[in-house]
């Protein structure tokens, strides 16, 4: 158990260290080390507000992604949906060919500034990895396990809920972990569309050549990504039959 928790702990520690470095005093010290005259940075309250916005936008997007990705993944692996499998797969893959920045930009004239275009990009970009992960996790469930459940008289729904999903759980958690990392990154890009996230100080800092808030945003965004990744790794350990790596 102790060995297994190691990756989550290490990733989490990196996250905490980055978060500590994003504190104005620490960041000003780093910027000073670069030989730059530090200008006014973001106070911790503002950083925290942006972080909470970032996290909640990502969480809403992730919930939609999980719902759509897991749902479609379960749907297309059912026997009756064999014929739409290629179509769903192809559409999800085509959506992936549009980079998140471009998706945010294309949604901007239709959905306006702020959260909505970011959410659309989050969903469009995140569904495909979750869908593929769900399908491959469900397909990895052995035929014997399924046949044994059938022989025991389980209904199709019972097989799904009590055999397939539990056996596929490690794969599903892994797919969601990728989606979490993607969601944090895409939300940061949303700052370009005016969503108030941890990407905002980065974009503003780049425009005003103001290194201190930019660096704080950089460190805080990276910290959030590492902390969420660590949380998902820990969750993978808790999941039934879960071995994170």
Partner 1 sequence: MRTKPTLAIPLRTFSFRHAMAGLPVAGLLLAALHGLPLLNLAANRLLPGDPVYASAFVNPSIGIVSILSIAASGFLVRTQRGIGGLLTSILFLAAWSVLLLGLGAQAAHLVTSQPPAASASLGSGFWIASVSLLVLTGISIGHTHRRCLGAIAAMCGLGLPMAAWHSGGLNHLSLAVEYAGRQAALHDAVVEHLLLSGGAVCLALFAAILLSLWRSGQSIVGLLVSGVQVIPAVALLGGLVALVSGLVRAVPALRDHGISALGPCPAVIGIAAYLLLPLWRGIGAALRSADPASIDVAEALGLTKFQILRDVRLPLGASVLVGSLRVAVVQSLGLATLGAIIGAGGLGRLVFDGMAQFASDLILIGAIPIIVMSLAAEWVLSAIEARCRLRWRA
Binding site for partner 1 (CB under 8 A): 11, 14, 31, 33-36, 82-87, 89-94, 96-102, 105-106, 108-110, 128-129, 132-133, 171, 174, 178, 181-182, 184-185, 188-189, 191-193, 199, 202-203, 205-206, 211, 214-215, 217-219, 221-222, 225-226, 229, 245
Judged by beta carbon, residue 154 or residue 181, the one nearer partner 1 is 181
Judged by beta carbon, residue 39 or residue 85, the one nearer partner 1 is 85
Task: Report whether 179 contacts 132 (CB < 8 A).
Answer: no
Task: Report whether 195 contacts 188 (CB < 8 A).
Answer: no
The residue behind tokens 């297994």 is 4
Task: Report whether 172 contacts 180 (CB < 8 A).
Answer: no
Determine the 3-state secondary structure of 60 from DSSP: helix
Judged by beta carbon, residue 54 or residue 159, the one nearer partner 1 is 54
Which residue, 190, 232, 230, is CA-closest to 6?
230
Tokens of 68: 């759509």
Determine the 3-state secondary structure of 136 from DSSP: helix
Least distance CB 58 / partner 1 (angstroms): 10
Least distance CB 167 / partner 1 (angstroms): 16
Judged by beta carbon, residue 36 or residue 150, the one nearer partner 1 is 36
Separation of alpha carbons 144 and 82, rounded Å: 21
Tokens of 218: 């950089």
Judged by beta carbon, residue 149 or residue 227, the one nearer partner 1 is 227
Separation of alpha carbons 226 and 223, rounded Å: 5
Least distance CB 153 / partner 1 (angstroms): 31
Least distance CB 84 / partner 1 (angstroms): 6
Least distance CB 163 / partner 1 (angstroms): 22
């Amino acid at each position: 158990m102790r060995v297994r928790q190691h990756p989550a702990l290490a990733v989490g520690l990196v996250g905490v260290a980055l978060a500590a470095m994003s504190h104005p005093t620490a960041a000003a010290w780093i910027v000073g080390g670069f030989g730059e005259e530090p200008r006014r940075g973001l106070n911790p309250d503002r950083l925290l507000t942006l972080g909470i916005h970032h996290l909640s936008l990502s969480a809403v997007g992730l919930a939609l992604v999980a719902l759509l990705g897991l749902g479609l993944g379960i749907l297309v692996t059912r026997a009756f949906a064999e014929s739409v499998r290629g179509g769903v797969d192809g559409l999800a893959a085509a959506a992936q060919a549009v980079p998140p920045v471009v998706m945010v930009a294309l949604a901007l004239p239709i959905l306006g500034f702020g959260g909505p275009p970011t959410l659309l990009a989050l969903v469009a970009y995140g569904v495909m990895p979750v869908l593929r992960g769900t399908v491959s996790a469900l397909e990895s469930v052995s035929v014997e396990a399924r046949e044994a459940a059938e022989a025991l008289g389980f209904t199709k729904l019972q097989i799904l809920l009590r055999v397939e999903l539990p056996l596929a759980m490690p794969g599903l958690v892994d797919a969601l972990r990728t989606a979490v990392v993607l969601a944090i990154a895409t939300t940061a890009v949303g700052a370009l569309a005016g969503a108030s996230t941890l990407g905002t100080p980065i974009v503003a800092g780049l425009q005003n050549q103001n290194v201190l808030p930019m660096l704080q945003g950089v460190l805080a965004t990276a910290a959030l990504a590492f902390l969420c990744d660590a949380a998902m790794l820990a969750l993978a350990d808790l999941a039934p039959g879960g071995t994170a790596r």
